[in-house]
């Protein structure tokens, strides 16, 4: 595995560990909240049982004494107060936790979206890295074929070979161009240190100084970036 591959593998592991930690923390919060709500539910069940008991007393046909009715009245008031207290408690928890849960979910969603974007970007960059390396390895083969074409043109008996090699180079050029390869303009251009590599100088009064007068080896750019500068001869003044 290359160093780039090891680095990406390590990065993925670290991100997965962070996601696991976030999910675990969120899960614990939900469990704790469910426990609290479960306790409130038990208290409400107790209130309901007491209400059912009182309702059963009121539906009996026998006459209830004044003391018994007073006792029922006190019990009903207490149950009303308890129910109101429970209602407020549930409302406070739902209102407060709703914001917390929403914030947590939004954070997790943002983390996931960022992770997806980073992964897609790295996949694209890694793909371009592989294509760029392949293209650089292919360029010397392309150079050799073009040299073969020049030699074949000088030999009158190599017309068939010339056509075959020319067709091969044309196919290679179309493939590389489709993938983003472009030839660096050099001859007749002003010397550009970012695109040209000077291998010779020649006194040329009919050319402006530092103008490229001959391309010794073609240069190329891949998707807007120089992957091989053009080797050039430039004009100089005596």
Contact assessment for residue 184 and residue 230, using Cβ atoms and an 8 Å cutoff:
yes
> Residue 84 pLDDT > 70, yes or no?
yes
Phi, psi of 203 (to 5 degrees): -70, 125
Contact assessment for residue 222 and residue 213, using Cβ atoms and an 8 Å cutoff:
no
pLDDT of residue 233: 92
Task: Compute the average pLDDT of residues 66-83.
Answer: 77
Strand order in the sheet with 225-228: 181-183, 220-222, 225-228
Each residue of 111-129: pLDDT tens digit?
777 777 877 777 777 777 7
pLDDT of residue 26: 65
Please state, in angstroms and rounded to a whole number, the distance separating the CA atoms of residues 105 and 101.
6
pLDDT of residue 212: 92
Contact assessment for residue 227 and residue 132, using Cβ atoms and an 8 Å cutoff:
yes
> Residue 227 pLDDT > 60, yes or no?
yes
Each residue of 132-183: pLDDT tens digit?
777 777 788 788 788 777 777 777 777 777 777 788 888 888 888 887 888 8
Name which residue leads in pLDDT, 109 or 235. 235
> Residue 107 pLDDT > 60, yes or no?
yes
Q: By percentage, how much of the chain surpasses pLDDT 70?
A: 74
Reduced to 3 states (helix: H, G, I; strand: E, B; else coil), residue 192 is coil
Strand partners of residue 190: 211
> Residue 99 pLDDT > 60, yes or no?
no
Contact assessment for residue 219 and residue 228, using Cβ atoms and an 8 Å cutoff:
yes
pLDDT band at 10 (very low <50, low <70, confident <90, very high): low
Q: If you search the block for the tokens 């008996």, which residue do you land on? A: 157
Q: Provide the b/e sequence for 160-171 (b: ≥16 CB within 10 Å).
A: eebeebbeebee
Distances (CA, A) of 77 to 50, 73, 154, 171: 12, 6, 114, 92
**Selection from 97-106, 154-163, 228-237 with the highest mean pLDDT:** 228-237
Each residue of 20-29: pLDDT tens digit?
666 666 666 6
pLDDT band at 199 (very low <50, low <70, confident <90, very high): very high
pLDDT band at 232 (very low <50, low <70, confident <90, very high): very high
Distances (CA, A) of 102 to 89, 109, 141: 20, 10, 59
Neighbours of 173 (CB within 10 A): 14
pLDDT of residue 75: 78
């Amino acid at each position: 595995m290359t160093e780039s591959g090891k680095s990406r593998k390590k990065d993925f592991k670290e991100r997965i560990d962070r996601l696991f930690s976030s999910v675990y923390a969120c899960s614990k919060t939900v469990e704790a909240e469910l426990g609290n709500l479960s306790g409130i539910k038990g208290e409400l069940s107790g209130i309901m049982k007491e209400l059912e008991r009182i309702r059963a007393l009121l539906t009996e046909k026998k006459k209830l004494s004044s003391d018994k009715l007073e006792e029922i009245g006190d019990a009903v008031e207490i149950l009303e107060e308890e129910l109101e207290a429970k209602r407020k408690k549930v409302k406070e928890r739902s209102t407060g936790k709703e914001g917390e849960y929403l914030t947590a979910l939004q954070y997790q969603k943002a983390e996931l979206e960022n992770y997806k974007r980073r992964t897609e970007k790295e996949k694209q960059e890694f793909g371009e890295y592989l294509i760029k390396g392949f293209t650089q390895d292919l360029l010397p083969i392309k150079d050799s074929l073009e040299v073969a074409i020049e030699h074949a043109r000088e030999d009158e008996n190599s017309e068939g070979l010339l056509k075959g090699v020319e067709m091969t180079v044309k196919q290679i050029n179309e493939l590389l161009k489709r993938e983003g390869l472009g030839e660096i303009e050099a001859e007749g251009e002003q010397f550009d240190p970012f695109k040209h590599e000077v291998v010779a100088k020649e006194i040329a009064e009919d050319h402006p100084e530092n103008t490229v007068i001959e391309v010794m080896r073609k240069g190329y750019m891949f998707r807007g970036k120089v992957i091989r500068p053009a080797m050039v001869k430039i004009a100089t003044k005596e």
